[in-house]
Structure 1
Amino acid sequence: MGGWPVVEGELWDGSNFDWLETLFKFRKHGYSHDILLDLSVTPDYRNNSHHIVDLDQPVLGMPDRSYLIKGLNDSGVAAYYRLMVDSAVLLGATREAAEEQMLESLNFEITLANFSLPREERRNISKLYNKMNITEIYKLAPSVNWREFFNKLLVDPIPDSEPVIVDVPEFVKKFDDLITTIDKRVLANYMLWRVVLQSFAMLSKSWRELVQDYNTVITGKTRESPRWEKCMGTLTGSLGVALASLYVRNHFKEESKESSLEMVNYIHKEFLKILDEVDWMDDKTRERAKEKAGTIQPYIGYPDELLNVDKVADIYENLTLTSNDYFQNVQNLRVWSTDYAFGQLRKPNKKGDWKKHARAAVVNAYYNSLENSIEFPAGILQGAFYEKDRPNYLNYGAIGFVIGHEITHGFDDRGRQFDKDGNNVNWWEPETDFKFRSKAKCIIEQYGNYTVPENGLQINGINTQGENIADNGGLKEAYRAYRSWVKDHGPERYLPGLKYTPEQLFWISAANVWCGKYRPEVLKLRILSGSHSPSQFRVIGTFSNLPEFSESFNCPVDSPMNPQKRCSVW
């Protein structure tokens, strides 16, 4: 990589340093090329049958820019700085040189963080959709050799006329000025620091202990995760399709798929009824909304191709792994996955492609705006979320809540910016658009006024609004769907030994899936960088907005869970 100046000392020759050439070396050896500018290939939001090049602000070394802009006054930033210094010393730098030069590198990263668009301002997709070609990008930022930048990082060379989405033109402009004035040593020190940061997990215990001290401050975890857990985490992230193939062949209960699909159908019907009932929509927007809701495609469990070992093996055709070189395996995987993603540029974006739905061994669920699809991987159809032999009030409260949540994502503040075909098109009449915003504002203010007792931080109502809208709509739909199911199939029996009614157990089951215990540091991390409200507010906020909950438990009027003022979008 040309050496880390802080370690090389006087031996480092800055005359040969070129940040672009160094970036190309990173790409070649499996390190991130996204540390100064983020380059990716993505489906075109406005014509999603094609892929397009995307240029964005960088991925920073800390979990979120909100840490860095506080500077060294923040305990997390101070720990990050210590990690930079200690890493340089471990590689042979003097502590004095490390402290001085790593402070310069940290300040450079803080500048990048300040130039970056905050998360709150990235929710409007149209604001991030600035299509330019290479010639126009040169006018925006003339100091960077953009032809080289794109052609040496991407798999296929592109002409000057190639369209590129520039998410944050203002960042690119400021970066252009910065890169011409920054001292080469400071820039090289920062870039090589990011190589070290990406290497910790593959190195020996002394290195992992260093990063553990930093992780303790950020997450509160005082010791490394057990080896099996780290190995599973690595596999899930990097060889997720192969892992899913093993999981579904050996552990997935096939009958879960059928009964989950029945629940999806009941919940989906309730959402369509809600669209008919809401009084703030005009008829034209309502029809488009129903059309979009009607074309949502569900993916449950896993695609059948996962059972075909040859098809799974084809995905990894160009990947080389050996049984005795963990470090190189990880680097090979990184190069391969970047090549794979960049290799999509000239290929059509096929909706429903099984490979996009193949990471089935995860406990998660998704709404995909570009496909207008909902996905419930095999991994979530178990445990607290779902069990075929349980009464339906428990399943509708748990996985039903999640199903409703994902359907509603298509109509939250971000999902609603896409039409039924998954393109970024405004299908809202102006008056209804205004009413949606005022409904969403109620949710923003409600959750933004919650303070987390463990650390005194307030929830960010803007960043969490999409998930909060999805929670509120999703739980309402699931409850209504369960009531419809009972009408069709008759009431279910109580659970023996408990005084709760089936309706009350629905709510208890829904609350139970968010039951958890978090360290204060993790809560801080989730509040600063997460898109979800902390778990207790996903329950308290959502349940208090639904009169049906108060009815089930006879909550007194004006009590915390039965307030006079409620927020509701769907």
Structure 2
Amino acid sequence: MANHQLLGVLLLLLGLTTFCLAAPPTPCSTPACKSAAAYIADAMNATANPCTDFFAFACGGWQSRHHIPDWKSRTGTFDALNDQMTAQIDALLEAFNVSGHGHSHVKSSGSVAYGAYLYQRCNALGIDQEDAVALADLKDVVKEVIGVWPIGQGQRAEKDKSWAENIVKAFVAGISAVFQFSIQPDPKNVTVNKVVLDPAAQGLGDKELQNLTANAKEITAYKAYIRSAAKLFCGANCPTLEEDIDDIIHLESALASSKLSVEDQRDPETLYNLLTFKQLADRSKFDFLAHILIPAVKALGYTPTAQPTDQLIVSDVNFTIKAVSIISSLKSPDRTLANYIINAAYEPEQNSITIPAGILKAPFFDAARPFAINHGSIGVVIGHEFTHGLDDQGRQYDEVGNLKNWWTPAAIKAFSERSKCFVEEYGRQVEKITGLHIINAAYEPEQNSITIPAGILKAPFFDAARPFATNHGSIGVVIGHEFTHGLDDQKRQYDEVGNLKNWWTPAAIKAFSERSKCFVEEYGRQVEKSTGLHLNGQNTLGKNIADNGGTHESFNAYKARETASGASPTLADLPKFTSDQLFFLSYANVSDPFD
């Protein structure tokens, strides 16, 4: 959930009003209530006036003690809870007793023990050894994808390789370069999957790359980053390094400048362009099917079945056409693209699984209960993840995480035959998995569903033992936020089964547009102090609608519960605040002041 210094129109109308009135019901002094009161008090700046600056009053103390680290772009309550979860995972795996046991014994003693063993083995590497291993892995990937990273070395990557072949090699290695292909449900018929072609992300943000002069500070830092990475390969003798870096920057800038505006990227209808492969080839003067998809499918060990008359969804047709022209007109397309691929899009594979601390408790795991119960719960979960290493995708990576065809042809054929029963049984189901440890929530328009992971169901977001006003002000607003996304300016365009469909009447659409203008204008007046830049209220409209709508609905639900079951208790350690005020203080506490 995003948040801004403005906590919302409703916060002003409802929250500030409550701070001018006071009639507290029964106070609560249980341990849970004391903990909730301490968290709220610690986050506050009691010297601020809540009727003139509620943000400073509710969050000023927290903000003064938390600053954005150099290695992060933001920080907030979500980030703090995520850091706490990560620390718990590290501590749990590090404390697991695997010492004195050999590799074979630990491996046979259970998946949890073996996972802890692997974690501790990796953690035992010194930083220098970790860096050496990581660099060796990177060089292996570079060799597999482009042969030699030519940056700074005055030589071509592979003289007989076209730029399209470089993209194919990158695609097979799991790297999206210039173009990103995926298989997704058709937004207008979610029972059918289609190939989707999107622009790939650049090494730096599009906004910075679109204007190199105005963002000279960021570009200089980006060049320094590329330079430091490149010197790991070309060493002290890099005669063409600066020229190569400039080529990368200008290629990325040209690609970023060819994309749809941020406003247009938020419109699902604008992003829905159904073309045949032949139509795309005719418009772009490049045959994506023949030169990229078919070679990539073959390289992955499959038999291509797509035909020129088959359809795909192209999210940004103009970008796709321009990108082909931009690359083709480069002075040295294969060399520049090889440098671009390795610099901007490398993400190493680790042949590992993650077992979050959030799941290592009842009902999934309890060391004190019979091991048969643990094997039937957490054992199945871990077995599921280990088995992914031998599924139709995971089997294509070797024991150290390199993409490598290590199965015999007979084994591949047997695997394909035996897996047909799963394809037939499950048909076209699309599985969306969210880790239980995730500190967030989500609305999926294609499924018309929301996901609330277990990781977020803890303080300060939720605690069943504290007053329900505080829960409604925190996790209630989060849930309301996700529900309201179903009717924001983007997601309202999807129907009840998740299809992109214009199901609103023209009068309803007109009224929605008129009423949403207040959010665009209100948030557009907000200025980021360090840069002096105004927030773009149109680009943040979906989040702003969800923030305000979620707060409104959760507050209504809280008041309905009070009507049905009596007033929510107050907090004994914060006696001057009413339940209504605690609702808004709790909301402020789970909002991210730096997001």
Same structural fold, with TM-score higher than 0.5 when normalized by the shorter chain: yes
Whether the aligned pair in 2 keeps the contact of 1:123 and 1:414 (CA below 8 Å) is: yes
Q: Which residue of 1 aligns with 2:492?
A: 416
Q: CA–CA distance in 1 between the matches of 2:184 and 2:580?
A: 44
Q: Which residue of 2 aligns with 1:449?
A: 525
Shift of 1:309: 4.5
Q: What is the letter of the counterpart of residue 284 of structure 2?
A: A
Shift of 1:141: 1.4
| Corresponding residue to 1:493 among 555, 569, 573 | 569
Whether the aligned pair in 2 keeps the contact of 1:140 and 1:173 (CA below 8 Å) is: yes
The alpha-carbon distance between structure 1 residues 145 and 370, as it changes in their structure 2 partners (threshold 3 A), is: closer
Residue 91 (str. 1) matches residue 233 (str. 2): yes
Residue 3 (str. 1) matches residue 144 (str. 2): no
Whether the aligned pair in 1 keeps the contact of 2:196 and 2:315 (CA below 8 Å) is: yes
| Corresponding residue to 2:432 among 350, 353, 356 | 356
Shift of 1:361: 1.3
Q: Which residue of 2 aligns with 1:66?
A: 207
Q: Which residue of 2 aligns with 1:379?
A: 455
1:175-194 to structure 2, matched below 5 A, reads: 175-184=323-332, 187-194=334-341
Q: What is the letter of the counterpart of residue 329 of structure 1?
A: G
1:458-537 to structure 2, matched below 5 A, reads: 458-498=534-574, 499-516=576-593, 518=594, 534=595
| Corresponding residue to 1:47 among 189, 200, 204 | 189
Match of 1:492, SS state, is coil
Shift of 1:397: 0.3
The alpha-carbon distance between structure 1 residues 169 and 376, as it changes in their structure 2 partners (threshold 3 A), is: same
Residue 78 (str. 1) matches residue 220 (str. 2): yes
Whether the aligned pair in 1 keeps the contact of 2:450 and 2:483 (CA below 8 Å) is: yes
Of 79-88 and 305-314, the range deviating more from structure 2: 305-314
Residue 123 (str. 1) matches residue 266 (str. 2): yes
The alpha-carbon distance between structure 1 residues 388 and 57, as it changes in their structure 2 partners (threshold 3 A), is: same
Match of 1:6, SS state, is coil
| Corresponding residue to 1:151 among 288, 291, 294 | 294
Q: Which residue of 2 aligns with 1:247?
A: 358
Deviations 1:467-510 (A, max 9, x none): 10000100000000001111111112221032100111011001
Of 311-320 and 412-421, the range deviating more from structure 2: 311-320
Shift of 1:86: 3.0
Shift of 1:200: 8.1
Whether the aligned pair in 2 keeps the contact of 1:370 and 1:423 (CA below 8 Å) is: yes
Q: CA–CA distance in 1 between the matches of 2:493 and 2:169?
A: 38
The alpha-carbon distance between structure 1 residues 503 and 119, as it changes in their structure 2 partners (threshold 3 A), is: same
Q: Which residue of 2 aligns with 1:298?
A: none
Residue 134 (str. 1) matches residue 245 (str. 2): no
Q: What is the letter of the counterpart of residue 210 of structure 2?
A: I
1:15-30 to structure 2, matched below 5 A, reads: 15-28=159-172, 30=173
Deviations 1:218-237 (A, max 9, x none): xxxxxxxxxxxxxxxx99xx
Whether the aligned pair in 1 keeps the contact of 2:203 and 2:343 (CA below 8 Å) is: no
Q: What is the letter of the counterpart of residue 557 of structure 2?
A: A
Deviations 1:329-378 (A, max 9, x none): 3768xxxxxxxxxx99997443xx6x524422100100010000011001
Q: What is the letter of the counterpart of residue 263 of structure 2?
A: E
Match of 1:164, SS state, is strand
Match of 2:534, SS state, is coil
Q: Which residue of 2 aligns with 1:113?
A: 256
Shift of 1:89: 3.0
Shift of 1:79: 1.1
Q: CA–CA distance in 1 between the matches of 2:147 and 2:337?
A: 13
Shift of 1:24: 2.1
The alpha-carbon distance between structure 1 residues 469 and 424, as it changes in their structure 2 partners (threshold 3 A), is: same
The alpha-carbon distance between structure 1 residues 375 and 420, as it changes in their structure 2 partners (threshold 3 A), is: same
Shift of 1:17: 2.9
Whether the aligned pair in 2 keeps the contact of 1:364 and 1:376 (CA below 8 Å) is: yes
Whether the aligned pair in 1 keeps the contact of 2:450 and 2:482 (CA below 8 Å) is: yes
The alpha-carbon distance between structure 1 residues 330 and 401, as it changes in their structure 2 partners (threshold 3 A), is: farther
Q: Using CA pairs below 8 Å that are at least 6 residues apart, which structure has the higher relative contact order? A: 2
Shift of 1:84: 2.0
Whether the aligned pair in 2 keeps the contact of 1:65 and 1:118 (CA below 8 Å) is: no
The alpha-carbon distance between structure 1 residues 322 and 422, as it changes in their structure 2 partners (threshold 3 A), is: closer
Residue 103 (str. 1) matches residue 232 (str. 2): no
Match of 1:35, SS state, is coil
Q: CA–CA distance in 1 between the matches of 2:315 and 2:288?
A: 19
Shift of 1:406: 0.4
Deviations 1:8-59 (A, max 9, x none): 32x437641311212222233x341x22112111111001011110012222
Q: CA–CA distance in 2 between the matches of 1:514 and 1:27?
A: 38
Q: What is the letter of the counterpart of residue 445 of structure 1?
A: E
Q: CA–CA distance in 2 between the matches of 1:252 and 1:451?
A: 47
1:194-209 to structure 2, matched below 5 A, reads: 194-199=341-346
Q: CA–CA distance in 1 between the matches of 2:520 and 2:181?
A: 32
TM-score under structure 2 length normalisation: 0.64
Whether the aligned pair in 2 keeps the contact of 1:367 and 1:375 (CA below 8 Å) is: yes
Whether the aligned pair in 2 keeps the contact of 1:444 and 1:462 (CA below 8 Å) is: yes
Match of 2:511, SS state, is helix
Match of 1:59, SS state, is coil
The structure with more helix, counted as a fraction of residues: 1
| Corresponding residue to 1:317 among 364, 387, 390 | 390
Q: CA–CA distance in 1 between the matches of 2:379 and 2:470?
A: 30
Shift of 1:252: 7.4
The alpha-carbon distance between structure 1 residues 467 and 330, as it changes in their structure 2 partners (threshold 3 A), is: farther
Q: CA–CA distance in 1 between the matches of 2:521 and 2:334?
A: 41
Residue 329 (str. 1) matches residue 401 (str. 2): yes
Whether the aligned pair in 1 keeps the contact of 2:570 and 2:579 (CA below 8 Å) is: yes
Match of 1:400, SS state, is helix
Residue 164 (str. 1) matches residue 312 (str. 2): yes
Q: What is the letter of the counterpart of residue 209 of structure 2?
A: L
The alpha-carbon distance between structure 1 residues 166 and 305, as it changes in their structure 2 partners (threshold 3 A), is: farther
The alpha-carbon distance between structure 1 residues 462 and 191, as it changes in their structure 2 partners (threshold 3 A), is: farther
The alpha-carbon distance between structure 1 residues 84 and 316, as it changes in their structure 2 partners (threshold 3 A), is: same
Match of 2:263, SS state, is helix
Q: Which has the larger radius of gyration?
A: 2
Q: CA–CA distance in 1 between the matches of 2:505 and 2:495?
A: 13
Q: CA–CA distance in 1 between the matches of 2:213 and 2:580?
A: 51
